[in-house]
Amino acid sequence: MRAVTNYHIWTIGCQMNEADARRLGDELDVVGFAPAESAEDADLVVLYSCVVRQAAENKVHNQLMRLREVKRRRPDYKIVLAGCLAGEETAALQRAYPFVDLFVSPKADISLRNQILDLLDLDQRYRQEPEGAQRAPGVSAGVTIHQGCNRRCTYCIIPFRRGPERSRRPAEIRAEIEGLVQRGTREVVLLSQIVERYGWDLQPRTTLAELLTLLNEIEGLERIRFLTSYPVDFGTDLIEAVATLPKVCEDINLPIQAGDDTVLRRMARGYKVADYLRLVEALRARIAEVAISTDIIVGFPGETAAQFENTLRVMEQVRWDVVHVAMYSPRPGTVAATWPDDVPKAEKKRRLHAVEELQREIAAQINARLVGRTVEVLVEGQKDGKWYGRTRSNKLTFFPHPEPLAGELVQVRITEASPWALQGELVRRQPAAPRPTQIPLYLSA
Ligand code: SF4
């Protein structure tokens, strides 16, 4: 009998790290490894790291320092560093973290599971004989479909760490999702840094719209989401796919980053505010009740107070459902990091709070319109005695019910709304009625 290897996976950062960690966990379970509650209880720990902001990189460093202490006590302890920090020069990383056993760059196409088996010196049987039982995945699971990015936004470190764009084959993605559905997943979130570029590198070439059409056929799968979108790549074929494929949710994550053309040009985003607004108009004209979220960076080098005010004006114009806002922080190796980081920290914070405050008002108004309506919710779990799940438009919704409901599609009548979540009562447990195709709920002001 094999000795069981206990593993622990620690993640930080984007949903792609979470999805990759879930997939690695599945692969390790199949070959008979067992998940450990904590890094200290494990024989092997894998860190999926993030360097998008300095704060995330600091957390990875702190975690590595904690693991160094474990390794001092237990020399057989194995530490694997994956994710974007490992995309850097391995020699420099080896000097900084000599106690790490394996660095796995996200640019590498070799299976992480096989590299781990090599590291542990485990024989060929592990590669061939499924032995372990896989844990149930979440009701909603992320699935990476495309890695890397060929663009060069001036503030962004990702292309350097994740490398050029590579798509996974449609059949491989479909097989992974069918496996998840068999184990209880009802919704998948297709992940990529730049999701509309999916399939351009494949032979034969394919598109995200074609992939969505293929995945829409999977029996037992209820919902499909995808992110992150890029404004100039979002084509009419994709708008049609979202509008017509029943499982594809009306939920688009479309980062604008700044609402000022000069700042956008310095970010090298490749579009103007007017291009973005045209796309929002096209989405809202064709897709009933589409929810659109965005990302905004405040305090980019050279961003004046007036340019920042333009971002607030665009927020009032577009009225996004959700805004993820972050203060600019220079990432060594990027073009913007060679420019003076000239917006003082206090001013960055002021801009951040101004975006948050305005968005709180807008989201409160958008969500208040749902009070009294009945919406379809996919139930994900229970918290503080209430069930929670998300609407097709990705609104977190809570409601009480005495029976188990996880994984079910239910109809919930909304009784209360806040900027962040909805409260309601269960109306029925049957699948939703056909989607409305007429009037958008919230038009731009
Ligand atoms: S599109 Fe720009 S922001 Fe997004 S990953 Fe690529 S370089 Fe970074």
pLDDT, one tens digit per residue, over 374-398 is: 999 999 999 999 999 999 999 999 9
Whether 1 has a pLDDT exceeding 60, the answer reads no
Place of tokens 């992940």: 191
- Average of per-residue pLDDT across 407-421: 96
Range from 24-38, 157-171, 247-261 that averages highest in pLDDT: 247-261
pLDDT at 286: 97
Q: How far apart are CA 102 and CA 82, in angstroms?
A: 8
- Please tell me if the CB atom of residue 159 comes closer than 6 angstroms to any atom of ligand 1: yes
| Closest-CA residue to 287 (of 118, 89, 440, 94) | 440
For ligand 1, the distance from its centroid to the CA atom of residue 167, given in whole angstroms, is 16
Q: Which of 162, 194, 294 to mutate to test the pocket of ligand 1 (most atoms within 8 A of CB)?
A: 194
For ligand 1, the distance from its centroid to the CA atom of residue 253, given in whole angstroms, is 14
Q: CATH says 374-428 is which class?
A: mainly beta
Whether 100 has a pLDDT exceeding 90, the answer reads yes
Q: Which of 50, 147, 151, 256 to mutate to test the pocket of ligand 1 (most atoms within 8 A of CB)?
A: 151
Q: Which of 162, 193, 232, 329 to mutate to test the pocket of ligand 1 (most atoms within 8 A of CB)?
A: 193
- Please tell me if the CB atom of residue 47 comes closer than 6 angstroms to any atom of ligand 1: no
pLDDT tens digits, 322-371: 999 999 999 999 999 999 999 999 999 999 999 999 999 999 999 999 99
Whether 439 has a pLDDT exceeding 60, the answer reads no
H/E segment holding residue 174: helix 170-182
- Please tell me if the CB atom of residue 14 comes closer than 6 angstroms to any atom of ligand 1: no
Contact (CB, 8 A) for 80 and 137: no
- Please tell me if the CB atom of residue 158 comes closer than 6 angstroms to any atom of ligand 1: yes
pLDDT at 445: 28
Instruction: Spell out the residues 6+ positions from residue 274 whose beta carbon is closer than 8 angstroms to its own.
Output: none
Contact (CB, 8 A) for 116 and 44: yes
pLDDT band of 133, cuts 50, 70, 90: low
Query: What CATH number does the domain located at 273-368 have?
Result: 3.30.750.200
pLDDT tens digits, 106-127: 887 678 888 888 888 876 556 6
Q: Where are the domains of the chain?
A: 6-128, 136-249, 273-368, 374-428
Report CA torsion sign: 336, 342, 347, 351.
Answer: negative
**Closest ligand 1 atom to the C-alpha of 150?**
6
- Please tell me if the CB atom of residue 230 comes closer than 6 angstroms to any atom of ligand 1: yes
- Please tell me if the CB atom of residue 149 comes closer than 6 angstroms to any atom of ligand 1: yes
**Closest ligand 1 atom to the C-alpha of 159?**
7
| Closest-CA residue to 7 (of 29, 23, 20) | 29
Whether 442 has a pLDDT exceeding 70, the answer reads no
Whether 181 has a pLDDT exceeding 50, the answer reads yes
Whether 441 has a pLDDT exceeding 70, the answer reads no
pLDDT at 358: 98
Residue 169 CA, distance from chain mean position: 20
Whether 438 has a pLDDT exceeding 50, the answer reads no
- In the structure encoding, which two tokens stand for residue 44, read together? 């092997």
pTM (predicted TM-score) = 0.90
For ligand 1, the distance from its centroid to the CA atom of residue 229, given in whole angstroms, is 10
| Closest-CA residue to 14 (of 63, 61, 84, 66) | 84
- In the structure encoding, which two tokens stand for residue 228, read together? 């992150």
For ligand 1, the distance from its centroid to the CA atom of residue 149, given in whole angstroms, is 6
For ligand 1, the distance from its centroid to the CA atom of residue 47, given in whole angstroms, is 23
- Determine whether domain 6-128 maps to CATH 3.40.50.12160: yes
- In the structure encoding, which two tokens stand for residue 193, read together? 């840094």
SS3 128: helix
- Please tell me if the CB atom of residue 155 comes closer than 6 angstroms to any atom of ligand 1: no
Contact (CB, 8 A) for 143 and 188: yes
pLDDT tens digits, 139-163: 999 999 999 999 999 999 999 988 9
pLDDT at 2: 52
Task: Please state, for a pLDDT cut of 90, what percent of the chain lies above it.
Answer: 79
- Please tell me if the CB atom of residue 276 comes closer than 6 angstroms to any atom of ligand 1: no
Whether 434 has a pLDDT exceeding 50, the answer reads no
- Average of per-residue pLDDT across 256-262: 98
Inter-CA distances, 339 with 24, 154, 302, 436, Å: 39, 10, 9, 49
| Closest-CA residue to 53 (of 23, 14, 80) | 14
pLDDT tens digits, 288-326: 899 999 999 999 999 999 999 999 999 999 999 999 999
Q: Do domains 136-249 and 374-428 have the same CATH topology?
A: no
pLDDT at 435: 42
- Average of per-residue pLDDT across 430-442: 41
When the pLDDT of each residue in the chain is averaged and rounded to a whole number, the result is 91
| Closest-CA residue to 420 (of 352, 351, 321) | 321
User: In terms of residues, how long is the chain?
Assistant: 445
**Closest ligand 1 atom to the C-alpha of 193?**
5
pLDDT band of 136, cuts 50, 70, 90: confident
For ligand 1, the distance from its centroid to the CA atom of residue 170, given in whole angstroms, is 23
- Please tell me if the CB atom of residue 254 comes closer than 6 angstroms to any atom of ligand 1: no
CA atoms within 13 A on the CB side of 13: 27
- Please tell me if the CB atom of residue 156 comes closer than 6 angstroms to any atom of ligand 1: yes
- Average of per-residue pLDDT across 31-54: 91
Q: CATH says 136-249 is which class?
A: alpha beta
- Average of per-residue pLDDT across 269-298: 97
For ligand 1, the distance from its centroid to the CA atom of residue 254, given in whole angstroms, is 12
- Which protein residue has the closest C-alpha to ligand 1 atom 8? 156
